[in-house]
Amino acid sequence: MTLANTITAIIDEYYPPASPAREVLLRHSEMVARKALQTARKVSHLHPDLEFIEQAAMLHDIGIFYARAPEIGCFGEYPYVCHGYLGRILVEGKGLSRHALVCERHVGVGLTLEEIRKQDLPLPLRDMVPVSLEERIVCYADKFFSKKPGKDQEEWPVEMVLKSLEKYGLQKVARFTEWLALFGETGW
C-alpha cells in the first residue's frame, strides 16, 4: 500500500461514509491541504516536503471524533482541545510518527508546556508547538479555515485570523504574525 492509500484508509476507518463528521473532516482537510501547499510553494527556497505536507494536512484533525463537538458531528467524550494529541496517538499507532507530530502540534498556533500548565489544560505536560517547517506550514494554513457550519466554505482574511487569536493572548498573535512574514503574506 502506498502512503497516500494508507492515509485514505485511516480516514475511511475512523470516518466511514455514513459518519456525521466525515464531510466536515474531508472538506476542512482538503482546504487546509490546498492552502498549505500554496504556502509551501512560497518558501520553496526552504525546500519544504510537499508530499508530506499534503498528507499531514489530510490527517491533522483525524482526532476530532474523540471530542465532544456535536455541531461538527463529533460525539466523543473529550474536550475539543484534546483532538490534537489524541490524533497523534492514533496516527503513531499506524506507524506514521512524523505525521503524528503535526496532529499534536497544530492546535491554535501551538501550545507551550507553560501554557498547558498555567491554563490547567487537560493535556499531557509537554510542548506542543510546531517545530519543523512542515509542521509550521500546516498549522499556519489551518488557521484560515473554520469547521463550523456556515463558516466552513471560505478562507478567512488575515485580519479575521488575527482577531480570532487575540482572545488567546498577544503572544499567539505575535507567533502568527511571524509566520505571516515568513510565508510572504504582505502588508502585516
Contacts of 166 (CB under 8 A, 6+ apart): 172, 173
Between 1 and 98, CB nearer to Fe ion: 98
Between 56 and 186, CB nearer to Fe ion: 56
The grid cell for 6 is: 494508507
CB of 121 to Fe ion, least distance (A): 15
Contacts of 149 (CB under 8 A, 6+ apart): 71, 72
Residue with cell 463529533: 74
Number of residues that bind Fe ion (CB under 5 A): 1
CB of 147 to Fe ion, least distance (A): 8
**What single-letter amino acid sits at 168?**
Y
Distance CA 43, CA 184 (A): 8
Closest residue to Fe ion in the complex (CB): 61
The answer to whether 104 contacts Fe ion (rule: CB under 5 A) is: no
Between 26 and 181, CB nearer to Fe ion: 26
CB of 60 to Fe ion, least distance (A): 6
Residues of this chain, 43-82, that bind Fe ion according to CB under 5 A? 61
Distance CA 188, CA 141 (A): 16
CB of 187 to Fe ion, least distance (A): 27
Q: Which residues bind Fe ion (CB under 5 A)?
A: 61
